[in-house]
């Protein structure tokens, strides 16, 4: 069965517990549950992970490539706006990476307007809360 890695960056372990006005009230486990259900319907399996450490995300991108994953859905959170290493890792692998955000960074502070991930990803889905992840999974299924 084709697999899709769903990688989540720093502070997203706090999802649903803090700042619900910006990020919604779903926890990362809630989102994983929704993705599992949708993946089942699409005939995919998902591997959902979260880390507060940039190097873990780089290693997992390499792992997704080595495993022959169909796609990676990546919410790099704050590293989106800072990480040349993530940009380089996405460029270095052949698995397509879909950038995802809960909020729409372009409606927020100017320091969120640049994305090092978006410059390497196949596409970006942002601003739809937890639904952004489901839209990304549907896009992954159609790649
Ligand atoms: O909207 C998104 O998904 C973001 O990737 C979230 C990042 C932010 O730096 C990006 O600009 C946009 C922040 C994730 C922090 O997650 C929290 C969750 C709950 C409480 C506090 C932070």
Q: Is the CB of 124 under 6 A from ligand 1?
A: no
User: In a 3-state reduction of DSSP, which class is residue 15?
Assistant: strand
Q: Is the CB of 83 under 6 A from ligand 1?
A: no
DSSP one-letter string for 18-57 = B-HHHH-S--HHHHHHHHHHHHHHHT-EEEEEE-S-HHHH
pLDDT of 95 reads 98
Give distance in angstroms: CA of 12 to centre of ligand 1.
Answer: 6
What CA–CA distance (Å, rounded) separates 2 from 67? 10
Dmax (CA) of the chain: 41
Q: State the pTM of this model.
A: 0.97
Each residue's pLDDT tens digit, 82-133: 999 999 999 999 999 999 999 999 999 999 999 999 999 999 999 999 999 9
Q: Which residues of 62-87 are buried (b: 16+ CB within 10 A; e: fewer)?
A: ebbbeeebbbbbbbbbebbbebeebb
């Amino acid at each position: 069965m084709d697999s899709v890695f769903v990688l989540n960056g720093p502070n997203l372990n706090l999802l649903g517990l803090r700042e619900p006005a910006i990020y919604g009230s779903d926890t990362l486990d809630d989102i994983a549950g929704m993705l599992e259900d949708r993946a089942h319907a699409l005939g995919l399996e998902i591997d959902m992970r979260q880390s507060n450490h940039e190097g873990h995300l780089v290693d997992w991108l390499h792992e997704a490539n080595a495993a022959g994953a169909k796609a990676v859905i990546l919410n790099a959170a704050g590293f989106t706006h800072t990480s040349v290493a993530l940009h380089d890792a996405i460029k270095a692998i052949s698995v397509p990476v879909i950038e995802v955000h809960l909020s729409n960074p372009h409606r927020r502070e100017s320091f969120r307007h640049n994305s090092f991930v978006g410059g390497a990803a196949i596409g970006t889905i942002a601003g739809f809360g937890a639904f952004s992840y489901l839209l990304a999974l549907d896009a992954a299924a159609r790649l």
